[in-house]
Chain A
Amino acid sequence: MKNLKLKAARAAMDLSQEELAKRCNVSRQTINAIEKGDYNPTINLCIAICRQLHKTLDELFWEEEQ
């Protein structure tokens, strides 16, 4: 499932995938894969991304049940 919340939060901070990737010490392709829902990051990476985007885990990664 695509992570549109992450993409929106990144865009709101005017960050490119490349910039966010550098800040989280991962490759740009990894950020892209997370946003596309192709990769489920570990909790450590989720926390690193949340810290960079000033969001909580819930705000970026929690999915409400349909």
Chain B
Amino acid sequence: MSAYNFGKMTGILTGVVIGLVVLAVIFVICNKNRKLKTEYDERQQILRGNGYRFGFYAMTVWAGIQILLAAMDIELPLQPVTQAFSCIFVGVLADVLYCIFHDAYWGLNNNRKRYMIAFLIIAALNFAIAFGAYKSGNLIVDGKLGAVGTNLLCAILFLLTGVALIIQQIREKSPEKE
């Protein structure tokens, strides 16, 4: 392994570890009881299981479409890293939207306001990175969405999540209609 590749790998792994630590800190700050784990009640756990199922189906369908397109020599305007990330994007989005619209997204110990602020910050940071790459001409590489496209997809994911949460909150405005 060359020194360059070693350095690159070390950098990526360090980034992943830092990312996980930051994520853990966000969870602890945003949960009311300062716990890392979000707690759900029994109904939510069942629905979240359905959400994971739909997420898996969506991811599989999207991966299948990509295989078909590749077999037909049709290239998506995505670089390999971004294309792989798009599978995660599709799966997570399907899961999250299902959970939100079935009242199984927010856990019992979640502080919704803090989470929404965290989502907004994460979306803004990712948009800023993508915008910076666009300005420097690194967002599109050889006519395809480059690796920084993952930041763009991440920002879109958090933005869509936020919008879905706001829509669901509006739908919930009159809780005891019956």
On chain B, the number of residues with a Cβ less than 8 Å from chain A's Cβ atoms is 11
CA distance A44 to B42 in the complex (A): 10
B71 to chain A, nearest CB (A): 43
B175 touches A17 (CB 8 A): yes
B41 touches A26 (CB 8 A): yes
Least CB separation from A40: chain B residue: B43
A13-66 contacts to B, CB under 8 A, are 16-18, 25-30, 32-33, 35-36, 39, 41-42, 44-45
Secondary structure of the B contact surface, majority rule: loop
On chain A, the number of residues with a Cβ less than 8 Å from chain B's Cβ atoms is 20
Secondary structure of the A contact surface, majority rule: helix
CA distance A44 to B43 in the complex (A): 12
CA distance A45 to B161 in the complex (A): 30
Residues of chain B at the chain A interface (Cβ within 8 Å): 41-44, 103, 106, 108, 172, 175-176, 178
Most buried by B among A7, A25, A29: A29
Q: What are 29 of the A-B contact pairs (CB < 8 Å)? A: A2-B178, A7-B178, A16-B176, A17-B175, A17-B176, A18-B175, A26-B41, A26-B42, A26-B43, A26-B108, A27-B41, A27-B44, A27-B108, A28-B175, A29-B103, A30-B41, A30-B42, A30-B44, A32-B175, A32-B176, A32-B178, A33-B43, A33-B103, A35-B178, A36-B178, A41-B42, A42-B42, A44-B42, A45-B42
